[in-house]
Amino acid sequence: MTSRFSIDQTPNRLLRRYVRHEVVVVYKTKEAFGGLSNMASGYPLQINGIRILTSEALYQACRFPHIPEVQKKIIGQHSPMTAKMQSKPHRKDSRSDWDDVRHKVMRWCLRVKLAQNYEKFGRLLLDTGDRAIVEQSRKDNYWGAKLVDEIGDALVGQNVLGRLLMELREKLKSDVEGELKQVSPLGIPEFMLLGKPIERVSSQGVEYSQEPQRPLI
């Protein structure tokens, strides 16, 4: 299915403008739709049998498939913010193609979050209806959008995270067979966690199979 919210492999670089009171704003995790944030707790994940507390920690760990010790520090944090901060000193050592694959990695992380929290996260996604989803940010106009006017009702940015959430929401609306409860590994080089290739993920954790898996992207 092709969604009007879909993001191709080279995301549109044009900034988008949103009217804040007309959209679903993802800003603080304690707010109504805060669970859509990667910083939200209560949506645990399991990759290759390893428990990871937040999608933010998983995303940050994916920067460093070639440095397992850094991945271990990141996913060992109890707070998503400390997981993010743990990655900062090593950003210069991110995988060499990070800028090219980061939106694919984020899409995959959101898919995993849905697969392993299907009812809770899925219900929250569907509760947004058909409204645009926008991550409000103070600094980042790539993943989110920033307030730009004096009355604080205009958000401007690429809003890549919001668009990925809308894309996933459209897929979920037609997921009558529960196909989104399983997620194949990304078809990118060095897609690894703690020195091992990331396996197919399911709502029960990880499915190990001898058969080759078709990449999600």
Give per-residue pLDDT as tens, 35-81. Answer: 999 999 999 999 999 999 999 999 999 999 999 999 999 999 999 99
CA distance 155 to 177: 36
The answer to whether position 7 is within a domain reads: no
What band does 205 get if pLDDT is binned at 50, 70 and 90? low
Please answer whether residues 24 and 134 qualify as being in contact, where contact means their C-beta atoms are separated by less than 8 angstroms.
yes
The answer to whether position 215 is within a domain reads: no
Please answer whether residues 189 and 198 qualify as being in contact, where contact means their C-beta atoms are separated by less than 8 angstroms.
no
Number of structural domains the chain divides into = 1
pLDDT (0 to 100) of residue 6: 41
pLDDT (0 to 100) of residue 150: 65
pLDDT (0 to 100) of residue 28: 94
pLDDT (0 to 100) of residue 152: 72
Using DSSP's 3-state secondary structure scheme, residue 135 falls into strand
CATH number of domain containing 82: 1.10.357.40
CA distance 110 to 104: 10
User: Among the listed ranges 7-16, 78-87, 91-100, 108-117, which one has the minimum average pLDDT value?
Assistant: 7-16
The answer to whether position 4 is within a domain reads: no
- Single-letter amino acid code for the residue at 160: V
CA distance 193 to 158: 29
pLDDT in tens, 148-202: 876 778 999 999 999 999 999 999 999 999 999 999 999 999 999 999 999 999 9
The answer to whether position 88 is within a domain reads: yes
The answer to whether position 52 is within a domain reads: yes
pTM equals: 0.88
Mean pLDDT of the chain: 90
The answer to whether position 216 is within a domain reads: no
The answer to whether position 1 is within a domain reads: no
Predicted confidence (pLDDT) at residue 217 exceeds the cutoff of 90: no
The answer to whether position 65 is within a domain reads: yes
Look up the domain containing 111 and give its range.
16-207
Give residue 29's Cα distance to chain centre: 15
- Single-letter amino acid code for the residue at 45: L
